[in-house]
Chains A and B, each alone.
Chain A
Amino acid sequence: MRLDQRLIAGMIRPRTRVLDVGSGDGALLDYLFRNSGCDARGIEIDMREVTRSVAHGLPVMHGDADHDLVHYPDNAFDYVVLQRTLQAVERPREVLRQMLRIGRYAIVSFPNFGHWRLRMQLLLRGRMPMTSVWSTPWYDTPNIHPCTILDFLTLCRDEGYVVQQWMAVDEDGERAPWRRSIRLANLFGEQALFLLRRKDAPR
């Protein structure tokens, strides 16, 4: 399991209901079931990963964030997780709304487009930045909705979500040291990880 998945697992209370949107190889689901006693289920767009997960006994269905969350009832889950995918969905705001409709909490991670290396490349070279995190050229990238940590905070405020916890994470998933200043995190954090809740959800 990636290190940032451990950070996500640490945000989830034991014996809760979890939906992992973009569950990949199912590592987080497996961890949550075995170590936290969670009722953890997945949605995954890549059919090979779905088959692999189900063949490991994990409850995963083929689907995606844009089209399948809408079919779940309100409050079906305690947590809905979206890992490193928000920038690639068709309608990020709607996906967040759905996540916080069907779950009381949303856990969202995404690559931070405000990182200093991206800013510098654009400033100095005048070209779309290419880094280890943003590694596909503009014409090939699935990342159609990049945002910065500050952009994301603004959206949360506009939508009325409470940021219960946030952290900057480096590419390997290790927690980065920028804990106090969101501006420094926006400059130096490669990935961001947020725990959101609805205003009406208990703390």
Chain B
Amino acid sequence: MDQTNPATTLSHQHVTFPDGLQLDCGFHLAPVDVAYRAYGTLSPARDNAILVCHALTGDQYVADPHPLTGKPGWWGRMVGPGLPIDTDRFFVICVNVLGGCMGTTGPRSLRVREDGTEEPWGTDFPAITIRDMVRAQHLLVEHMGIRRLLAVVGGSMGGMQVLEWCATYPDQVFAAMPIATSPFHSAQNIAFNEVSRQAIFADPQWHGGRYWECNEIPARGLAVARMMAHITYLSEAALTRKFGRRVRATPGRGAVGAPGALFGEMFEVESYLRHQGSTFVRRFDANSYLTITRAMDYFDLGAEHDGDMSRPFRGTPTRFCIISFSSDWLFPTSQARLLARALNQVAANVSFVEIDSDKGHDAFLLDEPDFDRTIRGFLCGAAEHAGIG
């Protein structure tokens, strides 16, 4: 293993569950480590806990600096004292998903082979589902002695986890905020994921998924995967506003100086995507990317119910607040509306807001005052209805 890679040696706050988990694929995964971060104070009645679920490439460092990049938490503008998800009032938990690479058991975790030696799971890591991720979070929540979460909140793949929580543990979720998400992963989104995966497979340094043996990482493939995916998180309007057709000169690249060199100049948007790709590979594991994107692809709330997305929510006691963004074309409002209508079919308590934004799918991570107000208001309302002062 590459001991020089800080990502593999970092230690994260976690709980080990020796009995592990029975996965949807039939495999029994044990032991299971569940890495998490927690903020605020759990009330004596343990009734003020909010679980924040992260997206595909997120992690548990929702509101404190990332240990690898040093960057602020990915939702530091939303979670904290006095912020919409107020840690002065609520106990906020964020868990690294099963299959991830920030401390929770995943493809980079070590397993014991039959001969007693240890090696990473790699691509032998079992196929997991969004529900498996939720089961792992549930282990931790029970371990903390929390019988009911005041709210489960998450965007994108985090929103899928929110929905799966409500379907799997309905009595343990008082309020739910699925944000910029969908009740199933669409063909278009599976297609994008497949391109990302093919980019990783095509990198010779992927070595069939056993790249640790060569002390390498498939950095090119993973970076291209990230670049492609990143485009889907934005919108045409956002790209135009940020970069337009601006060009930057790039000395030392290609046939510089030669007049009319094909790649003598670089568009700002190209430079931005390359930066996104290169920073990503330093913090994320390629096999985790493969495992988690596959879990998203399998997500379909109606799959076990003849396509009826409302049936998992029959009799649900949960208060829902569905939020979409007008310029999100990865998880468009039309899919959020399908979810809202499925919940209407079982007369669930549903709020549904589309936030007007030109920032695309990523808007849920960015500065959108209406979005902040909606989250704050819905959580305050939920706390009031739950009888929490």
Would you call B321 an interface residue if the criterion is a C-beta within 8 Å of the partner chain's C-beta atoms? yes
Q: Which residues of A contact B382 (CB under 8 A)?
A: 57
Is the beta-carbon distance between B377 and A55 smaller than 8 angstroms?
yes
B384 sits at the interface (CB 8 A): yes
Complex-state Cα separation, A76 to B347, whole angstroms: 6
Q: How many A-B residue pairs have CB under 8 A?
A: 68
Stretch at the interface among B212-220, B242-250, B263-271, B352-360: B352-360
Given A39, A47, A63, A72, which contacts B349 in the complex, CB threshold below 8 Å? A39
> A196: CB under 8 A from chain B?
no
User: Distance (Å) between the CB of A54 and the closest chain B CB?
Assistant: 5
Question: How far apart sit A72 and B344, CA to CA, in the bound complex (Å)?
Answer: 5
Q: Are A55 and B356 in contact (CB under 8 A)?
A: no
Note all chain A residues with C-beta closer than 8 A to B346: 73
Interface membership of A59, Cβ < 8 A? yes
In whole angstroms, what is the CA distance A39 to B377 when docked?
Answer: 18
Tell me if A36 counts as interface (CB < 8 A to partner B).
Answer: no
Contacts of A41 in B (CB 8 A): 349-350
Instruction: Determine which of B341, B351, B376 lies in contact with A60 in the assembled complex, contact meaning CB atoms within 8 Å.
Output: B351
- Inter-chain CA distance A39–B381, complex, in Å, is 13
Is A47's CB under 8 angstroms from B353's CB? yes
Is B345 in contact with chain A by the CB < 8 A criterion? yes
Q: Complex Cα distance A63/B374, Å?
A: 17
Separation of A57 and B353 alpha carbons in the complex (Å): 12
* B377 and A54 within 8 A (CB): yes
- Measured CA separation A55–B321 after assembly (Å): 11
* Assembly CA distance A39 to B319 (angstroms): 11
CB interface residues, A 51-69, toward B, < 8 Å: 51, 53-63, 68
Chain A residues with CB under 8 A of B355: 51
A147 → B minimal CB distance (Å): 28
Tell whether, in the assembled complex, residue A55 and residue B345 are in contact, meaning their CB atoms are under 8 Å apart. no
Please give, as numbers and ranges, the residues of chain B lying within 8 Å of A80 by CB-CB distance.
none
Let me know if B354 and A54 touch, CB within 8 A: no
What is the bound-complex CA distance between A61 and B346, given in angstroms?
A: 15
Would you call B374 and A54 a contact (CB within 8 A)?
Answer: yes
Given known contacts A63-B352, A72-B347, A57 and B341 CB-to-CB distance under 8 angstroms: no
Chain A contacts of B322 at CB under 8 A?
A: 61
Inter-subunit contact A56/B344 (CB<8 Å): no
Q: Are A56 and B347 in contact (CB under 8 A)?
A: no
Contacting residues, chain A, for B381 (C-beta < 8 A):
56-59
A59 and B319 form a contact (CB under 8 A): yes
In the complex, residue of chain A having the shortest beta-carbon distance to the beta carbon of B319: A59
B143 on interface, CB distance cutoff 8 Å: no
* A81 interfacial contact with B, CB 8 Å: no
Contacts of A72 in B (CB 8 A): 344-345, 347
- Digit string of A120-156 for contact with B (CB within 8 Å is 1, else 0)? 0000000000000000000000000000000000000
Contact of B370 with A51 in the complex, beta carbons under 8 Å: yes
Nearest-neighbor residue (CB-CB) of A102 within chain B:
B347
Verify A62–B341 contact, CB threshold 8 A. no
Partner of B380, one of A39, A47, A57, A60: A57
The answer, yes or no, to whether B289 is at the interface (CB within 8 Å) is no
B347 touches A61 (CB 8 A): no
* A51 touching B353, Cβ below 8 Å: yes
B residues near A68, Cβ cutoff 8 Å: 341, 344
Closest residue of chain B to A47 (Cβ to Cβ) is B354
Question: Across the interface, which residues of A come within 8 angstroms of B345, CB to CB?
Answer: 71-73
In addition to A41-B349, A57-B377, A59-B349, 6 A-B residue pairs with Cβ atoms within 8 Å of each other are: A51-B373, A55-B376, A55-B378, A57-B381, A61-B352, A71-B345
26 A–B pairs (Cβ distance < 8 Å), ordered by A: A39-B349, A41-B350, A47-B353, A50-B351, A50-B352, A50-B353, A51-B355, A53-B351, A54-B321, A54-B351, A55-B376, A55-B377, A55-B378, A57-B380, A57-B381, A60-B351, A61-B322, A61-B344, A61-B352, A61-B353, A63-B352, A71-B341, A71-B345, A72-B344, A72-B347, A73-B346
